[in-house]
Amino acid sequence: MIIFPAIDIKNGVCVRLIKGDFRQITSYENTPIDQASLYFQNGFNNIHIVDLDGALHGRPANSILIQEIINKVKAKIQIGGGIRTIDDISRWIKIGVDKVVMGTAAVENIELLKTACNKFENKIAVSLDVKNGFIALSGWEKQTDISPIDFIKKIENFGVSRIIYTDINKDGTKKGPNIKDAVELSTKAKIPFVISGGISSINDIKKIKSLKNSNIEGVIVGKSIYDGDIKINELAKQI
Q: How does pLDDT run across 141-183, given as a tens digit for each residue?
A: 788 999 999 999 999 999 999 999 998 888 877 889 999 999 9
With 0-12 CB in 10 A as exposed, 13-18 as middle and 19+ as buried, what is 24?
Answer: exposed
Domain ranges, residue 208: 2-236
pLDDT per position as a tens digit, 29-53 = 899 999 999 999 999 999 999 999 9
Helix, strand, or coil (residue 18)? strand
With 0-12 CB in 10 A as exposed, 13-18 as middle and 19+ as buried, what is 210?
Answer: exposed
Residue 142 confidence (pLDDT) = 82
pLDDT per position as a tens digit, 83-113 = 999 999 999 999 999 999 999 899 999 999 9
Say how many domains are in the chain: 1
When pLDDT is averaged across residues 220-231 and rounded to a whole number, the result is 94
What confidence category does residue 208 fall into, taking pLDDT thresholds of 50, 70 and 90?
A: very high
User: The whole model's pTM is what?
Assistant: 0.93
Residue 183: partners with Cβ closer than 8 Å, 6 or more residues away = 211, 214, 216
Q: Which residues are catalytic?
A: 8, 129
User: CA distances (Å), 208 to each of 151, 211, 227, 239, in order?
Assistant: 24, 5, 21, 13
CATH number at residue 215: 3.20.20.70
- Mean pLDDT value across the chain: 93
Asked if 60 contacts 94 with a C-beta cutoff of 8 angstroms, the reply is no
Residue 23 confidence (pLDDT) = 79
Residue 175 confidence (pLDDT) = 87
Asked if 27 contacts 15 with a C-beta cutoff of 8 angstroms, the reply is yes
What confidence category does residue 66 fall into, taking pLDDT thresholds of 50, 70 and 90?
A: very high
What confidence category does residue 139 fall into, taking pLDDT thresholds of 50, 70 and 90?
A: low
